A and B are shown apart, each in its own frame.
Chain A
Amino acid sequence: SQTIHQWPATLVQPVGSPLSLECTVEGTSNPNLYWYRQAAGRGLQLLFYSVGIGQISSEVPQNLSASRPQDRQFILSSKKLLLSDSGFYLCAWSGQPNTEAFFGQGTRLTVV
């Protein structure tokens, strides 16, 4: 069966520090991969999505970047965090286009 792993679960980082959040999927090949951000009590904002290795689409210009070094690995990064980067980050994958998405458990990032 397919599983998605996202870590860490919580992270407190100072302003100006770098960020690396990792997401891996098991049990499937060539998944579509997504990074979403959710502000407190709000909906999900799509940040990046990838349909294959090295193929990254950015939805929102910002202080973040994403990479897909391997088929089932998706990394969200920042060189210098801002206070506004705080939020709940969710990784997800899907198989066929427009089918259901499967989410990781999320990372609660607090920038202080």
Chain B
Amino acid sequence: SQQGEEDPQALSIQEGENATMNCSYKTSINNLQWYRQNSGRGLVHLILIRSNEREKHSGRLRVTLDTSKKSSSLLITASRAADTASYFCATPEGSGNTPLVFGKGTRLSVIA
């Protein structure tokens, strides 16, 4: 099954800096999603970008999608200590009613 792969695996930045995480996937998709997971908790949906969209914003989050390169990026601007978490990209396993397949995630640490 196809799977997104996030890069880098871990990222440590100072509060106020921007954080960029990347995701690559293998096959054609109709959408790509980003999730956040605080340590020991469930995942929380952040944003969904459709295959016909190139960029999407939500608050301090900016997601881009390049279907020709099969890649996406998540940018968190003006990071805060509370942004410390793991971030995952997810893509549908296939066409139709299929489950999401997740990458291994990027562990973001924002140092105050």
Contacts and interface: CB of A to CB of B under 8 A. Distances in A.
Contacts of B33: 100-101
Contact of B1 (A32, A36, A59, A101): A59
Given A59-B1, A100-B48, A106 B40 contact: yes
Nearest to A34: B99
Interface in B1-58: 1, 30-31, 33, 35, 40-45, 48
B93 to A, nearest CB: 8
A88 B107 CA distance: 17
Q: Which secondary structure dominates chain A's binding surface?
A: strand
Interface in A62-112: 88, 90, 92, 94, 97-106, 108
B44 A103 contact: yes
A104 B40 contact: no
Contacts of B102: 36, 43-44, 46
A5 B84 CA distance: 25
Contacts of A101: 33, 35, 43, 45, 90, 100
B98 interface: yes
Interface in B77-108: 88, 90, 92-93, 96-105, 107
A105 B42 CA distance: 4
A103 B43 contact: yes
A43 B42 contact: no
A97 B43 CA distance: 18
B1 to A, nearest CB: 7
Interface of B: 1, 30-31, 33, 35, 40-45, 48, 88, 90, 92-93, 96-105, 107
